[in-house]
Amino acid sequence: MEKGDENMKWMSFKQDGKEKYGFYEEEKQEVGIVSDMEGAPATLAAAIEEQEFLASISRDTKSVPYIKETSIEWLAPIPRPLKNVMCVGKNYRDHAIEMGGEVSVPEHPMIFTKAPTTVSAHKASIPAYESLTDSLDYEGELAVIIGKKGKEITREDALDYVFGYTVLNDITARDLQSRHKQFFIGKSLDGSCPMGPWIVSKDEVADPHNLAIQTTVNGEIRQQSDTSHFIFPIDEVIHVLSKGMTLEPGDIIATGTPAGVGFAMDPKGTLQKGDTVEITVEGVGTLSNTVQ
Ligand code: MG
C-alpha cells in the first residue's frame, strides 16, 4: 500500500440505521465515511476484495465526509462474514496446559469455528445467557483478516494473503463446550464473538508474531502474553487451512488465546453480568465489551 495509508483504522458502523464503513481518526474521534464516496464498494469486505480502491484512500483524500464518533454505532469490521469464523484452539502452550495439561498441547493446528451470527461489535453487550450457562468465559485473541482468495498457499506466500489484523474475544460457554464434545455449540452463542474496533492493514504491523496481548476484566489483568508464543504461527495456519479449502477475502482467523482464562482460575473467574472485558493487542487496538 501507499505511504498515505499508514495508520488507517478500517471500520464498519451504523449511521441512521444504515450500515457504512470508513476509517477512524482517533485524535479527532471522527469517522471518515468511505462508503458514501462515489464508486465505493458496498461493504468493507467488498472493499477489501478490491484492494486498489482502499489503497487509493487516505486521510488526505479530500472527498471523504467526516462524522463524530458519538453519532455512530460501532459494528464489527466484517459484520457478517461469508463463512464461520475459523479459530485456532490451544495455540499458546501455557493455555493448552491450563486447560488439559501437557497431553493437550497439539501437534497439528486444532481448528474449530464460530457461526457468523456470533459476530458483534466493539462496545456491544455480551449476552450473559444466565439460563444456558454458568461458565461464560473470555479469550483475548489477535485475529487475521484474509485479503485475497487462495488455495494451496505456501508458508512462504501466506502473509501475502493477509489484509490486516483486528482484536477478537472468543467468548465461550465452558459447560456447553465440554458437554457437547464438539466445541461448536459452546462457541456459537449469538454475540459471542466481539471483534474490532477496526482492522489495521498488515503494513502497519511490523511483525504479527511479536505483539503484546493483554486481557483485563473490570481493570484486573487476566491474560498477558505475546504472539511470539504461538505454537503455530500465522503462515503455518494459513498454509494448513488452505491445503484443501479456498480462503476468501474477509475470512477471519482467530489465532488462539494465552493462559489466564477465567475457567482455569481458582476460584473460577468466569464472566458475570456487569463485567467489562478489555483486550488490547499492541499496535492493533483495544476491544471493550460488557456482559449484560
Ligand atoms: Mg479461542
Cα(171) to centroid(ligand 1), Å: 8
Q: How far apart, in whole angstroms, are the C-alpha atoms of residue 260 and residue 139?
A: 9
pLDDT score for 3? 43
Q: How far apart, in whole angstroms, are the C-alpha atoms of residue 126 and residue 189?
A: 10
Q: How far apart, in whole angstroms, are the C-alpha atoms of residue 120 and residue 38?
A: 28
Cα(6) to centroid(ligand 1), Å: 29
Cα(27) to centroid(ligand 1), Å: 32
pLDDT score for 6? 54
Cα(97) to centroid(ligand 1), Å: 14
In tens, the pLDDT along 250-284 reads 999 999 999 999 999 999 999 999 999 999 999 99
In tens, the pLDDT along 34-55 reads 999 989 999 999 999 998 899 8
Cα(18) to centroid(ligand 1), Å: 31
Distances (CA, A) of 166 to 9, 147, 152, 252: 10, 13, 24, 9
Q: How far apart, in whole angstroms, are the C-alpha atoms of residue 233 and residue 51?
A: 25
- pLDDT category at 132 given cuts 50, 70, 90 is very high
Strand pairing partners for 215?
223, 279
**Is the separation of the CB atoms in 255 and 227 below 8 Å?**
yes
Give the mean pLDDT of 196-224: 96
Cα(86) to centroid(ligand 1), Å: 10
Cα(87) to centroid(ligand 1), Å: 6
Residue 14 scores a pLDDT above 50: yes
Q: How far apart, in whole angstroms, are the C-alpha atoms of residue 278 and residue 216?
A: 5
Query: Would you kindly state where each structural domain of the chain is located, as residue ranges?
Result: 9-74, 85-291
Q: How far apart, in whole angstroms, are the C-alpha atoms of residue 247 and residue 235?
A: 13
The residue among 147 and 61 whose pLDDT is bigger is 147
- pLDDT category at 62 given cuts 50, 70, 90 is confident
Q: Which CATH number fits domain 85-291: 3.10.580.10, 3.90.1150.10, 3.90.850.10, 3.40.718.10?
A: 3.90.850.10
Cα(143) to centroid(ligand 1), Å: 10
Residues whose Cβ atom is located within 5 A of ion ligand 1: 139, 170, 257
